[in-house]
Amino acid sequence: MDIVKRFLEYTQFDTQSAEDSATTPSTEKQWKFARFLRDQLEEIGLSDVELDECGYIYATLPANTKKETPTIGFISHYDTSPDCSGADIKPRIVEKYDGGDIILDAEADIITSPAKFPELKAHVGEDIIVTDGHTLLGADDKAGIADIVQAMVYLMEHPEIEHGRIRVGFNPDEEIGLGAHKFNVEKFGCDWAYTMDGGDLGELEFENFNAASAKVEVTGVSVHPGYAKNKMINAIRVASEFIESLPKEEVPECTEGYEGFYHVVGIEGSVERATVSYIIRDHDRERFEQRKRIFQHAAEALCEKYGQQVAVATVKDQYYNMREQIDPVMHVIDIAIKAMEQAGVSPRVQAIRGGTDGAQLSFKGLPCPNIFAGGLNFHGPHEFLPIPNMEKAMKVVVNICKLANDFYE
């Protein structure tokens, strides 16, 4: 089976995760694919294949050399985003893309256009996998799984390529921020690993946001509006005042690159009570801590103004910038860069304006930068996957395995 057929096969499983679930995996439908993937890994000849009680899959490609080599790993997640349907995906290959509009559904007038998605222009002349305009494609991150599995098949079919012990790991619930929570780093047993969960060709990421979630709860005073003067404290209005008190230009829609932000993600309430939910992000740890203090001080200022009617309920750290853990082991990055260059790929080192399982795994003791898997426009019906991207990602995995074989020389 070639890598394209493998990926298309994976898209036929609906593996959407769910934020409101208390189970792991968060949805029963993820189990169906997990069992399929476990069986496939056994069929292709990997050893130590295990599907644990939480839906995490581990497997091994044994070393074929007597040299001393590090044990390295490759990781991808098999859930798809709750943001868009992952059921009944109908992928289609656009052969030798001509650079124009791609009609996904003519009757519904759903079109993927380079005018709106200029990244298409970089893939003129390539075969591209698209959706029918009504679901996501699932390249995030089933392309990553296909990259890894196909690379393992390639290495088994080419025993002349010497390599050390290789571990692969596939997990649920990355899209809801829980992918690394129950990943057993000790069982995985690697010196370092890579998540194959990036986007376009050449992406290599070992910096990400420091992240926190935060909530402000406002307690108001409800009085009949006809007689409310100097008595009522409208919790909704106070909540709005809190939102306005934070730096107005430090929001996602006004920032890029290494610029951090405060992002209001939810507000609910009444005159008596209101809750405002935020996420706080910054690449720099010191600025991140400062942002949390500013958030707290903004709430305290309203407390003083309204008489203890405002309180920060929670400020909870979610993950940290993995660069803190990668800097001491930069050979992990050097190997990935060389592997890309050997595959004819120009590395594009960039910071993630978000998080990754690799960040959490790095802080659990497994240095784990992120490499491109090939897809673009994730989490929606305009998602697409240039086939050459996926093929080159597979070659990068193979090259990393070869290069790690010479690590101790």
For the chain, the domains span: 3-207+322-405, 210-319
Q: For each of the chain's 409 residues, which pLDDT tens digit applies? A: 899 999 999 999 999 999 889 999 999 999 999 999 999 999 999 999 999 999 999 999 999 998 999 999 999 999 999 989 999 999 999 999 999 999 999 999 999 999 999 999 999 999 999 999 999 999 999 999 999 999 999 999 999 999 999 999 999 999 988 899 999 999 999 999 999 998 999 999 999 999 999 999 999 999 999 999 999 999 999 999 999 999 999 999 999 999 999 999 999 999 999 999 999 999 999 999 999 999 999 999 998 898 877 777 789 998 899 999 999 999 999 999 999 999 999 999 999 888 788 999 999 999 999 999 999 999 899 999 999 999 999 999 999 999 999 887 7
Phi then psi dihedrals of residue 131, to 5 deg: -100, -175
User: Which pLDDT score, from 0 to 100, does residue 97 have?
Assistant: 97
CATH topology of domain 3-207+322-405: Aminopeptidase (3.40.630)
CATH of domain 210-319: 3.30.70.360
Point out which residues pair with 370 in neighbouring strands: 195, 205
CB atoms within 10 A of CB 89: 22
* pTM (2 d.p.): 0.88
Q: Residue 345 is which amino acid?
A: V
**Catalytic positions, please?**
79, 174
- Fold: same for 3-207+322-405 and 210-319: no
